[in-house]
Every structure is written in C-alpha cells, then in structure tokens.
Chain A
Amino acid sequence: MTGPTPASTAAGPVCSPEEQREIEAFLYREARLADESRYAEWEALVTDDMHYWVPAGPAVGDPGQTLSYINDNRARLATRIRQLGTGSRHAQTPASVMRRLLTNIEVLTVSDGGATYETTANFVLYELAAQSTHELRVWPGRVRHTLRRVDGELRMAAKVVELVTATLPQPNLAFLL
C-alpha cells in the first residue's frame, strides 16, 4: 500500500511545457544512471541536503521515528556510494542488470519561484540478481522527487521510493533504487 499522492494546487499544469520537459529529462537521466550503476554520475545529481528514503510501508509520518529500508541523509548516502565503489560490495558484485520503466510523471507543485518542484511517477524495475540466484526480481512502485535548481541546474533534494511490496520482506536491495 502506498500513501495518497498530494493533490496539486492547481487544476491544470503547474508548470510550463518547457519545465515539464526539463523535469522529465532529468528523471529519465537519473533512472538511466541508476539502472547502469553509474554511481558517481548519479551522485552528482543530488543536493548537499539530499534525503533518500525507502520506507517499509507508506511514506507517511516522520522517518526518524521508525525503521526504514533506506533512510539516508547526505552523509550516509555518500557512504552507500563509497561502499558500492569499493569493488568488494559482494551484494552488488557484479552489479545487478537493471532496466526500469518510469511512467505517469506529474509535476505536483512549483515553489520558490520555479526553484523547487515536487514530482511523482510510477515505475517498474526489472533486476537480474546476477550476483547470486540469477533470478529476475521485479520492483514496482511510486517514486516522488523533490527537485531544486542549483546554479540553474536541476538537482535531487529528496527521493522517496514507495514499493508496492513495502510491507513484505524484501530481497537484497543493495543497488540504487
């Protein structure tokens, strides 16, 4: 179960078609870099206060009060990526073969005069667990981003991934979701 998507404040599009295209291009690029385990390039997309959250249920409430699969502040995310880069992170050696479909992209809110966007999208990630069982693992869910302009460029300030199966036990999730 995932939580309700916050309603957009306007009936129609909240941003211009140009902004929508820019945002979609950013999200597709982020998805592709994650699919291909290009950790350094992916990390270059995040802000200094990035929050990366994968809850074990609906993404509601304060993640500080419960336990999550992933609840990374910027420092812990840096550790995560540093570990993936050691070459001995067995849970991702070799890296999973992955492709994800990102659909139903909506820009929900624009604030700070076009400096901050809240977006939502649905995804299905196909993962080949190439490091152990060689099974195909399917990860469906909804992803919400907070995007912010830093020196004119879009960056991720938050990525919240709500798995459809969040309340069930999960297999290894050592890649970038």
Chain B
Amino acid sequence: MAGTEPRDRPAAAVDYRTLVGDDRVHGSLYHDPAVFDDELEAIFTRGWVFVGHESEVPNPGDWVSRRLGREPVLLTRHRSGAVHVVSNRCSHRGTALCWAAKGSSNRFQCNYHAWTFDLDGTLVAVPYPAGFDKDKDDLGLDRPGQVESYRGFVFANLDGSAGPLSTHLGEGGTGLIDRLCDLSPTGRIDVSRGWIGHKVSSNWKMWPESDNDGYHLNWVHASMVDSSPDTYYNETVLGGETGNQSRAVDWGDGHVELDFRPSYTRALAWLGTTADRVPGYCQALEEARGPERAHRLLWDGPPHALVFPNLFLGEMNLAIIEPVSPTEMVHWHTAVQLEGVDDAFNARLRRQSEAAMGPAAFIVPDDAVTAERIQGALAGARPAWAERGRGWLDVSRGARREQTGPGGERAALVSDETTNRGFWRQYRRVMSSRLTAPSPAGGAA
C-alpha cells in the first residue's frame, strides 16, 4: 500500500471534518470510491483490525485465509505453538500460496517455482539455489507491521505504526472481550465451527452502524418479533423508548455497545433459557468463578458490541465486517462456543447462530435488504451537496440526554444514536489524522 510512496492524489482530498458532523454524516461517504480508498489506507492499513481467533488454528500447521483491506493474509499456527499472520502471496513472483478458506500443512509451497515457506513466513527452500545472490532471510513472506492478540483474538496492523493494541482497544474494548470470554468456565472461547458469508450490496460502514443500532428493531425486525414471540429482544430493545432499561453506550475509540444488562430480570434470559435447563454449564461456571461472580455472569450475558472497525461481538456470535468495494461488503459470522461446556449447550449456540445471522436467518437478512435500499438511495448524494444542506443523514437522536459514566463512557437510551455517533467520531478522527502525513514506518513490512 501507499506507505511513504506519493499517493496518486493529494492527501486528505476529502474533507472528513466537514462530511462527518457531530450529529449528521454525509451520504457521499457510503459510495465515493475516493473515500473507500482512503478507508482502506487509514483504517484497514494504518489501524488495528481483527484478523481471526486463535481457536481457528488449534494445531500446528493449521491456517485460515483472511483479507485485511485488499491484502490477502493467512493466520497460521507454527510448530512452536505461536500464531502468525503472513501475506498469502509468494515473495518471489506474487502467486497466491493458498486458495481455500482454510487448511493444514507443514509448509507453504508456491506452485509456480516451488519456493517453500515455513508457517511463520520464513523462506526455507528454493529450487536451484546457486542462482540467487540474495539472502533467504530477506525473502520471507510479507508480514503485517504489528500482530498482537488479546484473549485469543488476533489483531494486525499492516502498516506497523498504530501503537500498541492495548491503546487501540482501551479499557472499553478489552472489557467487552472480557465479558464474552468470562462466560466460558476456562476463560476461552472456540470459534472453529465455520464461518458463514453474507454478501450485501452495501457499503461496509452500514454494518458497524446497524449491528449496533437500538432504534430499528421494531420496524426492520417486526416479522421476527411477530413469528417468534418469545424472543428476549422483547425485554431488551423493544416496547418503546422507555419500555426497557438497556443502554446505548459509546466506550470510546469507536467501540460501541447496546448494553442489555440492565434489562434482564433473571439469569440466562440472554440464552432464552433458565438455569435448571443447563445445569452442567451453570455448575462449571460456578466452580471456575465462584458462586457470586458466576451468578453475575449468568445474569449479564455476553455483550452486543462493535470493536472498531471490523469485529462485531454479536452476543454468542462473532462477525467480521469485510469491505469489498464502495458498494459491496461481506458480513461473516460464526457461533461462539464455550470451552469446558457440554456439546448439547454449544449445539444450542450453533442453532441460535443459524437462526439469527446469515443470508437465510430470521434477523440479519432484513438488515441486509435495508442496507441495500439505503445504498441505492444514496447513489446520488454528491460531496458538493454537503454545503448546500443536501444528502445528509441524521444521527442526532438522544444527543442531549447522553450521560457520562464512571469510565468516561457516554450512554443514553438503547434507542438513542449514541452508538452511531461513537462510531463516526472515531471514523472522523482517524480519517482526518492518519491520511495527512506519510506513514512513518513506510507501509506494510
């Protein structure tokens, strides 16, 4: 990517400080190809993004294929046990090394000239080596500038100049991941049951928004509510703006949550069950955490939150938001499985995941068709219209009743657009700061 090379147009040609207001955003941001290019640079190259989870590569040699912006990468498990992220592109002449979604192998061998790489990207062998004057150590696979993981969640920063992951996640982001992982008696989750890809003809940014929008459920999901009347969404996000106690929370740095905890009136409501139906799980959690902490966890359940920019913690689902083009994206999801819990419990989570998410589920297809309708309607919103007051989208709901919590987080009613504003605040910050100077580290290593 660009790195220290001159960009093919002036930096910050798009005025993000104007197009992203405090309580409105401009529709051109959803379809302008220049904006999309800027996002791949500022957010998906110069910022931290979620790659995958260590449980997807449990054994040495395991790998899964991912895309960070436009860069194809492999998440691998080395014989040492370490997890690596390497470019899925031969360092010789650029051939993709793997073309399946996942696999297992001791080495990666390019089919073009049989260059062979270790699972950490080291070049280990080339045919007829006498013809090369270069050192093999200098010809390994490209690697992101930074790779770090938190509780098994692997993040990468292609550029390498984004600062520590802990700063990107902040207490807000780590707290959200903790609340999910702590539901497992071992503290570890497993997401190895396969990803379902949902292709949507919309800009990717509609998904950080709609996945964490507490205002739309009564209308977009009316058919789900009518046909599945016992859903726990009744007590958490439905029933009018004062019909529940849930909160829309901006934890800062773009990490936002629909916090359902205040609405639950019993343990395990978030699972649509009761403690006596899943005694094995409850007992395992009590033994691991003590009765008091276990009771709290069983009551509160998992977060419903975005870890900026591309990881959705969708209660007992993970989703990856993958930009494809200005008007196309893929919403990948998988079921969270809890380590140390019986398979009947985890099977329940798999079936709930199928019901909630993916192209044929009861919930997300209605978000997808809505996103596609927005995309079509925004096609004519031109950047030049911003000054004339045209083409704006409003995200002002509840701004005046936001309250600041003990950790500095902003919160309002769950139907307020605090989450949307939190996403856009971080977006404006990174889009207006990271593009103005060349990357000090010189792009992806």
- Residues in A with CB closer than 8 Å to B226 are 82-83, 86, 88
A interface: dominant SS: loop
Is A171's CB within 8 Å of the partner chain B?
yes
- Residue B435 interfacial (CB < 8 Å): no
Q: Bits for A127-139, please: 1 = Cβ < 8 Å to B, else 0.
A: 0000111010000
- A71:B372 contact, CB within 8 angstroms: no
Cβ-defined contact, A169 with B365, below 8 A: no
| Residues from chain A with Cβ under 8 Å of B438 in the complex | none
A29 at interface (Cβ–Cβ under 8 A)? no
CB of B362 within 8 A of CB of A79, answer yes
Asked if B402 is an interface residue, CB under 8 A from chain A, the answer is no
B368 CB–A CB distance under 8 Å: yes
Size of the B side of the interface (Cβ < 8 Å), in residues, is 39
Residue A10 CB within 8 A of the other chain: no
Binds A, one of B216-224, B252-260, B413-421: B216-224
- Give chain A nearest CB distance to B410 CB in angstroms: 31
Task: Give A81's nearest chain B residue, CB to CB.
Answer: B227
Bound Cα distance A132, B366 (Å):
11
B360 within 8 A of A: yes
Q: Report the Cα distance A168→B359, complex, angstroms.
A: 12
B403 to chain A, nearest CB (A): 33
Cβ of B358 within 8 Å of any chain A Cβ, yes or no, is yes
Give chain B residues whose Cβ lies under 8 Å from the Cβ of A85.
227
CA–CA, A65 and B198, complex, Å: 20
Tell which of B46-54, B156-164, B348-356, B382-390 binds the partner. B348-356
Is B335 an interface residue, CB under 8 A from the partner? yes
A54: B residues at CB distance < 8 A: 360
Q: Give, as a whole number of angstroms, the nearest-CB distance from B133 to chain A.
A: 42
In the complex, are the beta carbons of B359 and A172 less than 8 A apart? yes
B179 interface residue (CB < 8 Å to A): no
| Contact mask for chain A residues 90-126; partner B; CB cutoff 8 A; 1 contact, 0 none | 1100000000000000000000000000000000000
What size tier do the contact residues of chain A reach?
35 or more
Partner of B197, one of A66, A169, A174: A169
Docked-complex contact A170 and B227, CB < 8 angstroms:
no
Minimum C-beta distance from B25 to chain A (A) = 22
Confirm or deny: A160 has a beta carbon within 8 angstroms of a beta carbon on chain B.
no
**A154 interfacial by beta-carbon distance below 8 Å:** no
A89 within 8 A of B: yes
Question: How distant is the Cα of A65 from the Cα of B190 in the complex, in angstroms?
Answer: 13
| B197 with A64: CB separation less than 8 A | no
Assembly CA distance A21 to B21 (angstroms): 66
Chain B residues with CB below 8 A from A133, complex form: 201, 372, 376
Is A67 an interface residue when CB atoms closer than 8 A count as contact? yes
> How far apart sit A89 and B360, CA to CA, in the bound complex (Å)?
12
The contact of B360 among A69, A87, A169, by CB within 8 Å, is A69
Instruction: Tell me how far the C-beta of A53 lies from the nearest C-beta in chain B, rounded to whole angstroms.
Output: 11
Asked if B101 contacts A83 (CB within 8 A), the reply is no
Closest to A134 in B: B376
- Tell me how far the C-beta of A130 lies from the nearest C-beta in chain B, rounded to whole angstroms: 11
Give the residue of A65, A68, A131, A173 whose beta carbon is less than 8 angstroms from that of B354. Answer: A68
Chain B contacts with A in 202-239, Cβ cutoff 8 A: 220, 222-224, 226-228
List the 3 closest pairs (A to B, CB-CB), nearest first.
A169-B197, A132-B372, A91-B365
Sample (28) of A-B pairs whose CB atoms are under 8 Å apart: A64-B347, A65-B193, A66-B193, A67-B335, A67-B350, A67-B353, A69-B359, A69-B360, A70-B354, A71-B354, A76-B355, A79-B227, A79-B362, A82-B227, A83-B223, A83-B226, A83-B362, A86-B226, A90-B220, A90-B370, A91-B369, A132-B372, A169-B197, A170-B359, A171-B198, A172-B359, A172-B368, A174-B365
Give me 20 other A-B pairs in contact (C-beta within 8 A), A65-B193, A90-B223, A132-B369 excluded.
Answer: A54-B360, A56-B197, A66-B350, A67-B194, A67-B196, A67-B334, A67-B358, A68-B354, A69-B358, A71-B354, A79-B362, A82-B227, A86-B226, A88-B223, A91-B369, A170-B198, A171-B200, A171-B201, A172-B368, A173-B360
Interface residues of B, Cβ cutoff 8 Å to A = 101, 193-201, 220, 222-224, 226-228, 330, 332, 334-335, 347, 350-351, 353-355, 358-360, 362, 365-366, 368-370, 372-373, 376
